[in-house]
């Protein structure tokens, strides 16, 4: 069976991602081995925490180039939460820290408003604007689970796959070629999240 590599760069939430794939019958390995990442049929960059420390974790473990190589190889690639944010050029959370730069644009903080609790923590809806393979059979308006204070502002608006409203309407996931990445947590999003992960599995296995 094709194996999915879940990149281990010191961020949390790795095992829950792995367990979600295993629940779907998909082999997944949590690894910081560049060879394992290079040989995997699909690659996942998860993450929770801060943009700066997560980028430092990638660099300290020598995983920036293996991650970019996986993306540029054309193999299915999934970014989750901070793992999605790292695909952009920079973040307000960590001035001066360069992201992976796969997507043009930057990560910004939700506006400070008395009525807006930050971080956004809990369930919110996806408005589908690009029917990426990972979103097959995910209904418009489906609820997924979020825990974040920052969101992406892509240079190219056409990469947006879903939008979500939380004080502002923002890009909650992006898709381009072999990449799908969301600022929400599919592994914590019950039925809808499992559908997204299973769609990714089907792409990895060449069934979608």
User: What's the predicted TM-score (pTM) here?
Assistant: 0.96
Exposure string for 51-70, b = 16+ CB within 10 A, e = fewer? bebbbebbeebebbebbeeb
Task: Give the C-alpha separation, 152 to 143, whole Å.
Answer: 19
Q: Where are the alpha helices (DSSP H) in 5-72?
A: 14-23, 34-39, 51-60, 64-72
Task: Give the C-alpha separation, 35 to 47, whole Å.
Answer: 21
Predicted confidence at residue 74, as pLDDT, reads: 97
Q: Per residue in 133-160, pLDDT tens? A: 999 999 999 999 999 999 999 999 999 9
| Tokens 């890009």 -> residue | 171
Q: Where are the domains of the chain?
A: 4-204
The 3-state DSSP class for residue 48 equals: coil
Give the class (CATH, top level) of 4-204: alpha beta
Q: Where are the alpha helices (DSSP H) in the chain?
A: 14-23, 34-39, 51-60, 64-72, 82-85, 190-204
Q: Per residue in 19-50, pLDDT tens? A: 999 999 999 999 999 999 999 999 999 988 89
What mean pLDDT comes out for the span 109-123?
90
What mean pLDDT comes out for the span 156-184?
97
Look at strands 168-176 and 179-182 and give their pairing.
antiparallel
Task: Give the C-alpha separation, 171 to 151, whole Å.
Answer: 7
Handedness of CA 132, 137, 143, 146 (dihedral sign): negative
Q: What count of other Cβ atoms lies within 10 Å of the Cβ of residue 80? A: 27
Task: Give the C-alpha separation, 4 to 172, whole Å.
Answer: 23
- Count the alpha carbons within 13 Å of 139 in the hemisphere toward its beta carbon: 4
Structure tokens at 28: 């997944």
89: DSSP letter: S
Active site residues: 81, 185, 187
Q: In the structure, what pLDDT confidence band is assigned to residue 112 with cuts at 50, 70 and 90?
A: confident
What distance separates the 2 farthest-apart alpha carbons in the chain? 51
- Taking each continuous run of H as one helix and of E as one strand, the counts in the chain are 6, 13
């Amino acid at each position: 069976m094709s194996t999915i590599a879940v990149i281990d760069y010191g961020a949390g939430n790795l095992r829950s991602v792995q367990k979600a794939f295993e629940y779907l019958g998909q082999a997944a390995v949590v690894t910081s081995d560049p060879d394992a990442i290079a040989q995997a049929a699909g690659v996942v960059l998860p993450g929770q925490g801060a943009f700066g420390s997560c980028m430092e974790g990638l660099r300290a473990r020598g995983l920036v180039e293996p991650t970019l190589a996986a993306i540029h190889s054309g193999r299915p690639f999934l970014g989750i939460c901070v793992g999605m944010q790292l695909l952009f050029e920079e973040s307000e959370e960590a001035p001066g820290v360069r992201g992976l730069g796969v997507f043009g644009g930057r990560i910004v903080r939700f506006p400070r408003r008395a009525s807006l609790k930050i971080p956004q923590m809990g369930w919110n809806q996806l408005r589908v604007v690009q029917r990426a393979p990972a979103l097959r059979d995910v209904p418009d308006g489906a609820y997924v689970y979020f825990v974040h204070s920052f969101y992406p502002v892509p240079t190219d608006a056409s990469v947006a796959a879903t939008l979500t409203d939380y004080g502002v309407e923002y890009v909650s996931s992006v898709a381009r070629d072999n990449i799908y990445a969301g600022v929400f947590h599919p592994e914590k999003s019950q039925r809808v999240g499992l559908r997204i992960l299973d769609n990714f599995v089907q792409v990895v296995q060449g069934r979608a």
